[in-house]
Chain A
Amino acid sequence: MTTLSSNVAAVYAEYVANYGKDNADYLMDVMGAWQKHYSHVAVIDLGIGDNAAVEAKVQADAARHGWIFERVAGNLILIRRLSEGDWANDFLLLQPGEHIAINCLSDCCCRASVLYFWAMPVPNHFIPNRDSRVFAPLRDFLHAPPQSVVAEYIAALTAPGDVVLDPFGALPNVARAAVALGRRAIVVESNPLWAWLARALATLPPAAEIDAALTRLGDVPKDDVALRTHLEQLYVTRCAACQQLTPADYFIRTRAGGLVARHYTCAHCGVTREDAATEEDWKRADAIAARGIHYHFALARVLPENGAFAERLRKMLDLYTPRNLSALATLTQKIEARFHAAREQTILLLLLLHALERGASFFAKPDATPELMSHPQFVEFNLWRQIEAAARALTTSPPALELAESPSAVMNAAARVFIGRGNAKTLARDLPRDSVALVLTAPPTRRVAVWALAYFWGAWILGRAAVQSLVPFLDTRKGAAWEWRWYADGLDSAFKSIAQFGRTDAPAVLVFDAAWHSVLEALLLAAAGARWKPEAFVFQPRLGDLPRHEFDDVWGEYRLAFVHAAADRRPLTDVPTLEKRIRASALAAANEIFARRGEALAFSFVHHAAFVRIAREGWLADARATPLKMSPGRFVHNAVLAGLQDGYADDFDHSSNANQFVWFRRSHALDVPLIERVEAEVRALLSRGVTSREELQDALYRKFPGDLTPEAGLIELCAAAYAEPVTEAERARAMNALARLGERLGYQTISDFRFQVSDLSPSAIENRKSKIENFDVVWLSNGEMAHAFVWRVRAAFADLAQIHIAPTRGYVIVPEQWVALMREKTRRLPYLADAFYEAGWNFVRLAAVEKLLTQEKVERSDVALITGLIPPLMAARAQLGLL
């Protein structure tokens, strides 16, 4: 045991070279101290070869250290079973993509008495956002992964005590989830305003302190009244009910400066109203000069010292009405002059930041999310009310975290979490290589306008010097090409640095939403440069979101997990071959996702499948390593599109109308349409008594993981269709209504009609293999079958497309609860819907039949009014309702 192996000898030699012999001996002694912690030593005799020499050596060591010597008979059973493939029970089998996870009962792995090991794959199913909406200023501008989502990844991919790194942490979500699970977290953010915000939100004082700060702020005197009174008076309006003055909640204004409406709850008579703005409101709003002292105060705050980008900053100031700008200037002056205690100031600056967001003209409606665009009409909020609401919301924040002063304190296990300003490069000072168990984050926003706003707000709140690094984003001349290069280059260098901190086995998980295709391309390309390969990928758009044009984006939720990839082959750098491979790979990926989902898809699905596959196969890394005439991103993008175009020569097709463009394959090698599989699973779960939305989602997302993930809302749509089972009584009601209608139209009607060969029209005889033997109701005209109705137990239509029923008109009777599901099915299966209609089929809604029956006069041509999923009869009513 004490023989120096070659490795130990090498270590010793290194110590001698570096520290001298004395020190080296001391170090080896200390490192050999483990020997002191043992009381016994044993030689395991396997019965192979001669152990005498080893045994003599061990006995000598035992005598020297005072250990009790033992000889133990071992056996080869385990090793034999391992090598012979008999792996039941005593072995852990890792399937490709799985890794070993540990959990232990005590605090730290090293001291654990019991260790649990299991094989844990990177989650490949969609993990939905279950966060209750926690208030945070600028929340809608920040990209942060939901806490409920990151918690699942942390639990699945790390052990207690491990370090989780969030390199783009604009909110403390990852930190909170990690700490709650007993992990350590390092959260850095390069944007100084976001970093300040994350730290401030993670360390909020208790509710009472927030409350007290708000009260003190409101009490500050301003022109002989309290500040809160002064601010509220800026927004007063005359109550239309009692004619008294009362502060409004908000006004609706136009871009041109007009006032449209006012919303208020009267402080005197208590009514809540929204009225048209009056001339008095106009006058009051105009009383505040557009370029008054508050305007110059604000401009001086945000204008860089060299006066650069003055025009851009003036434009940003124009996002605020004079009234709001005046309120913001007053608030800022009072906070800075009166409040110097750090904690109190932080609270008030958070509230001010919120007021800066709400004061800008980003809100088309009072409850809308802010949008960076010129709304023709926007909301001018009463900013004092906004501050009060924000303070109330802040008091419900989760308890404060205890933050380390530097990442190294977390590495030394002196603290559990660091949140602060920094980036991958600054982290290199504090973070050793291979120290992070999981990288978990949302990539930074690509929208330069948001970075420019961060400068503006940051300069206002933290001072110009603090946000100096954001000044370049004010430059509007740089253009879209520069933006993309900036984003791609930034990700590239960030990912390369971040990857070094991760252990070899550390996955990197990106959780984000609403991305352009090019953002995903930039992420995958940067990841390839960091030698990360996609291991799990989930894209989930909202149900019904479809692009207008062939290659347009659809936004959605993303879960993208990478693992470190060892270089397994020489890069392919021959440009024509590389292009050919990428084209083939893109086409194969598209074929696969069409086949697997079995239905028409928005281009985003196809695009993502292609890029993820190309990344997995290493072609992205190759493109980066190859000298090209264009950027690797552009090269791959072109090759992918060329590959997808190749699909048209194959069996790709599309369906388009005014608002949607979907792609599909006409091949017969497709799986059952996803919607049918989801529907069947939801029905099965409902019949087993599962009713909670969460349970349904969890089961379905696990059953249909990765590229099979259903769109947001599909599960709910299926559940709504089957929540109330269709009953026999409903069928009887439908039969009855149809029989009555048939009679009134002068048809001979037959219920529960059974086919006789002689009943069939010549074309129907050709289809004698017809699966339908029964119609529930038929209408005969001169002995010919004119209309035939089918009642079904499931919202299915596609199978009928194979049954050519024309010239008879066939109908599937649709109960109201199936209408939405049926419409979705015809949308996703456009080729089957076409075949269905061409074969002579259509839908009829029971509600439409019953409505037609209420009319005094009906004619045979009226049948057209009740057919289709939105029959003209119902559509007309819907439009009337809207009017």
Chain B
Amino acid sequence: MFGVRGTRAVYLCAAHSPHIVDVELLERGLHDQPADLRAQLQARIDAASAEAYDAILLAYGLCGQATAGIRAPLGGCRVVVPRARLHHPLSWQSRALPR
């Protein structure tokens, strides 16, 4: 599982999960440049999918550019992405409203 923010929440839920979840964090700030983030995310997904996981979970929402084009590599495993809109921790109900 890759997470960018809300690491506590991610670790907490991973620990409680009936499955074995390996958490991997990507450096904060990457989201300032969506293309970089996507490239980095994709590289990590490609690497992880070569290992024997059942699924790769992204703790990123489907925001703007960062997850667009993310690919589940052929011959690898499934990739799961929340359909949520904003890329704050998945627990969010962010009220930071654009003016």
Query: A699-716 CB contact bits vs B (8 Å, 1 = yes)?
Result: 000000000000000000
* Residues in chain B near residue A568, CB distance under 8 A: 46-47, 50
Let me know if A159 and B68 touch, CB within 8 A: yes
What 0/1 readout, one digit per residue, does chain A (61-76) give for beta carbons within 8 Å of chain B? 0000000001011111
Q: State whether A535 touches B50 (Cβ < 8 A).
A: no
Cβ of B90 and Cβ of A82 under 8 Å apart?
Answer: yes
Q: Which of A42, A87, A117 contacts B62 (CB 8 A)?
A: A117
Binds B, one of A4-12, A546-554, A677-685, A758-766: A4-12
Let me know if A96 and B99 touch, CB within 8 A. no
Encoded as 1 (CB less than 8 Å from any B CB) or 0, chain A from 1 to 45 comes to 000011110010000000000000000000000000111111010
Max count, chain B CB within 10 A of own CB: residue among A37, A41, A84, A504? A504
Binds B, one of A97-105, A231-239, A826-834: A97-105
Q: Are B93 and A72 in contact (CB under 8 A)?
A: yes
Q: Is A94 an interface residue (CB 8 A)?
A: yes
Q: Which of A87-140 contact B (CB under 8 A)?
A: 87, 89-102, 109-110, 115, 117
Pairwise interchain contact B35-A503, C-beta atoms closer than 8 A: yes
What chain A residues lie within 8 Å of B13 (beta carbons)? Answer: 76, 79-80, 82-84
Q: Which residues of B are found within 8 Å of A110, using beta-carbon distances?
A: 64-65
Within residues 479 to 529 of chain A, which ones have a CB less than 8 A from any CB in chain B? 503-506
Q: Is the CB of B27 within 8 A of A7?
A: yes
Task: Report the separation of the CA atoms of residues A763 and B70 in the bound assembly, to the nearest whole angstrom.
Answer: 65
In this assembly, does A862 line the interface, its C-beta being within 8 Å of a C-beta of chain B? no
For the complex, is B87 an interface residue (Cβ under 8 Å from A)? no
A75 touches B91 (CB 8 A): yes
Q: Which residues of B contact A109 (CB under 8 A)?
A: 64-65, 68
Q: Is the CB of A101 within 8 A of B70?
A: no
The answer to whether B91 touches A78, judged by C-beta atoms less than 8 angstroms apart, is yes
Q: Are B8 and A49 in contact (CB under 8 A)?
A: yes
Q: Is A772 an interface residue (CB 8 A)?
A: no
- Among residues of A, the one whose C-beta sits closest to the C-beta of B14 is A83
Q: Which of B17, B72, B89, B92 sits near A83, CB closer than 8 Å?
A: B17
Question: Of B8, B47, B73, which is in contact with the most chain A CB atoms at under 10 Å from its CB?
Answer: B73
B39 within 8 A of A: yes
Residues A83 and B1 in contact, CB atoms below 8 Å apart = yes
Please tell me if the beta carbons of A90 and B82 are within 8 angstroms of each other in the complex. Answer: yes
CB < 8 Å neighbour of A48 from B9, B19, B71, B96: B9
CA distance A159 to B67 in the complex (A): 13
Interface residue tally for chain B (C-beta within 8 Å): 63
A434 to B92, CA, bound (A): 31
Contacts of A44 in B (CB 8 A): 88-89, 91-94
Contact A42 B96 (CB under 8 A): yes
Closest CB of chain B to A1's CB: distance in Å? 9
Interface centre among A5, A70, A437, A566 (most CB of B within 10 A): A566
Please give, as numbers and ranges, the residues of chain B lying within 8 Å of A393 by CB-CB distance: none
In the complex, which residues of chain A have a beta carbon less than 8 angstroms from the beta carbon of B30? 7
Contacts of B1 in A (CB 8 A): 82-83
Given A42-B95, A568-B46, are A94 and B81 also a contact pair (CB < 8 Å)? yes
Bound together, the chains give a CA A40 to CA B96 distance in angstroms of 5
Residue of B nearest to A158 (CB): B69
In the complex, how many angstroms separate the beta carbon of A229 from the nearest chain B beta carbon? Answer: 61
B67 contacts across to A, CB distance below 8 A: 100, 117
B63 to chain A, nearest CB (A): 8
Contact partners of A503 in chain B: CB under 8 A: 35, 38-39, 69
Known A46-B91, A83-B21, A503-B69; contact A96-B81, beta-carbon cutoff 8 A: no
B80/A93 in contact, CB under 8 A: yes
A91 near B27 with CB under 8 A, answer: no
Is A563 engaged at the interface, CB distance under 8 Å to the other chain? yes
Binary per-residue interface labels of chain B (24-67) against chain A in the complex, 1 for a CB within 8 Å, 0 otherwise: 00011110000100110011001101100001010100101101
B39 touches A94 (CB 8 A): no
Given contacts A434-B39, A566-B43, contact A38 B9 (CB under 8 A): no
Using CB atoms, name the residue of chain B closest to A36: B99
Q: Does A85 contact B (CB under 8 A)?
A: yes
Residues of A within 8 A of B55 (CB): 85
Shortest CB-to-CB span from A41 to chain B, Å, is: 6
Residue of B nearest to A435 (CB): B35
With A7-B29, A100-B67, A504-B39: A84-B77 Cβ-Cβ less than 8 Å:
no
Chain B's nearest CB lies how many Å from the CB of A503? 6
Selected contact of B99 from candidates A37, A80, A84, CB within 8 Å: A37
**CB pair A98 B38 closer than 8 Å:** no
Contact A97 B43 (CB under 8 A): no
Chain A residues closer than 8 Å to B83, beta-carbon distance: 89-92, 117
Residue among B49, B59, B74 having the largest count of chain A Cβ atoms under 10 Å:
B74
> Could you list 11 examples of A-B contacts with CB < 8 Å?
A39-B97, A40-B96, A74-B92, A75-B91, A82-B59, A94-B79, A96-B72, A96-B77, A503-B69, A505-B70, A565-B46
- The 10 A-B pairs with the shortest beta carbon distances in the complex, nearest first, are A7-B29, A566-B46, A505-B69, A99-B71, A94-B72, A74-B91, A94-B79, A83-B17, A78-B90, A42-B95
The interface of chain B, by Cβ under 8 A from chain A, is 1, 6, 8-10, 12-14, 16-19, 21, 27-30, 35, 38-39, 42-43, 46-47, 49-50, 55, 57, 59, 62, 64-65, 67-85, 88-99
